[in-house]
Amino acid sequence: MVDGEYSSLRNLDASSSVPEETPREADEEIGPIISRRSTAFNAADLLSTNVIELPENVYGSMMMAVIRTCMSSSHLGVAFLQLMGLLLNVVLQVCVALFIQIYVSRPAVKKVQDFYGDYEGQLNHRNSGYAALENLSDEERDEVCQIPFSQMYFIWIMLAIWTGYVLKDLRESCMYMHVLWQLPHTKQGEDLIDFEKNDDGLLVVKGAAKRVKAAIALLTMFPKLGIAAFLWWIGARWLVATTSFEDIIMNSVALAFIFDLDEMFHGALSAAETRKRVAQYAFEVQEDPWFDDSVARLLEDTLVNGLMILILFGLPMLYLRFWQQVLPDYQWDVKAACDEYLEAEYSHY
């Protein structure tokens, strides 16, 4: 980019990042940008457009604030406000997860262990699995056969769905990190950010200093990855400790709500002007010579998809078999008895 053109763009951003215009005209210009955005992350679209727009959440707002601060120090106040919003979101998500662990998950774990303890008590009297259930009251039988461990495949599928929900977010964060780090480094003494305005009206970041990349990663991507991993672990324990199949479905919906608090915060608390600013910025995707070969692209897509499927179904199974501490050393001995009981009780309905 030539110096004159770059200088004009910097002056443009310092004034308001877009030419002065009426609110109606601004909405008309931003409208197409917003309409092109999608909440679903699609790597194929990313490769075909060569730009990736900022996410519409508090992390995207923080990215925007860092970029604008690098363009002009006059935006430091905005960056501080966005940082406060980001910290509030992180604290809220962590607190909600911890409250669930303390006030919901722990009592549920105790119930599951008590229900299973009643069943084990009958097994210790040399009863077979189904006979042990028969010696329990009707209420106790229903309680034992409603714990997730009585139906391994059901809880495995539910954990796989929860894992997929978290994995989608993790993949998006990793892709942003990859795209950011692949941007050319600006040299020492040059501007911190190199950008230009494309035909769609987006201000596309084409290069950044290493410290700028590190700041964006530390303030947005690393916290998001950490929150996602933490929520997955808390959520998996909560689902495994749920004491009825119906509540497993409801708890899954609640977990999705907690996971999407960053988007709720952005929509509810961010000013309209901030949301418009986020929609104006994008990162340039560097072309990879590897993708010039269609066979190589197909091979990589196949390997990546295979890895994602392995994680999607393998991680929940590993958790159920080795990592869960709701019923330590559980041997899945109640499943056969409960299958027989449920068949006898409910098959005619």
Residue 25 confidence class, pLDDT cut points 50, 70, 90: very low
Mean pLDDT of 26-33: 39
- Convert the pLDDT of each residue in 155-204 to its tens digit: 999 999 999 999 999 999 999 999 998 899 887 767 888 888 888 888 99
pLDDT in tens, 89-131: 999 999 999 999 999 999 999 999 998 888 887 766 555 666 7
DSSP 34-70: HHT--SS--HHHHHHHSEEEPPSSHHHHHHHHHHHHH
Residue 194's region, left for phi above 0, alpha for psi from -120 to 50, else beta, is beta
Q: Are 27 and 161 in contact (CB under 8 A)?
A: no
Whether residue 15 is predicted with pLDDT greater than 60 in this model: the reply is no
d(CA 52, CA 48) in angstroms, rounded, equals: 10
Name the residue with higher pLDDT: 22 or 80: 80
Q: Kindly tell me if the per-residue pLDDT of 28 is higher than 90.
A: no
pLDDT at position 51 over 80:
yes
DSSP assignments along 124-137, one per residue: TTT--HHHHHHTS-
pLDDT for the residue 289: 60
Per domain, the residue ranges of the chain are 3-346
Tell me the pLDDT band of 291, cut-offs 50, 70 and 90.
Answer: low
Q: Is the dihedral of CA 223, 225, 231, 233 positive or negative?
A: negative
| 36 vs 301, residue with greater confidence | 301
pLDDT at residue 306, as a whole number: 92
Q: Give Cα separations from 151 to 64, 105, 148, 156 (angstroms).
A: 47, 19, 6, 9
What digits encode the pLDDT tens for the residues 226-253?
999 999 999 999 999 998 999 999 999 9
Model confidence at 62, in pLDDT bands (50, 70, 90)? Answer: very high
The dihedral of CA 262, 267, 270, 273: what is its sign?
positive
pLDDT of residue 268: 84
Residue 84 pLDDT level (bands cut at 50, 70, 90): very high
pLDDT given for residue 337 in this prediction = 83
185 φ, ψ (degrees, to nearest 5): -80, 130
Contacts of 251 (CB under 8 A, 6+ apart): 238, 239, 242
Global pTM? 0.79
Strands (E), 159-299: 193-197, 203-208, 281-284
**Calpha distance 308→303 (Å, rounded):** 9
23 pLDDT band, cuts 50/70/90, is: very low
Amino acid identity, position 214: A
Which H or E element spans position 258?
A: helix 245-259
pLDDT number for residue 71: 85
pLDDT higher than threshold 50 for residue 5: no
Residue-level pLDDT at 129: 65
C-alpha pair distances (Å), 65 with each of 15, 180, 280, 292, 297 = 15, 15, 12, 35, 34
Average pLDDT, the chain: 81
Cα distance between residue 161 and residue 316, in whole Å: 9
Residue range 247-275, pLDDT digits in tens: 999 999 999 999 998 888 888 888 888 88
Look at 29-33, 131-135, 226-230 and tell me which has the smallest mean pLDDT: 29-33
- Give the pLDDT mean for 24-41: 39
Question: What pLDDT was estimated at residue 335?
Answer: 85
Tokens 């519409």 sit at which residue? 56
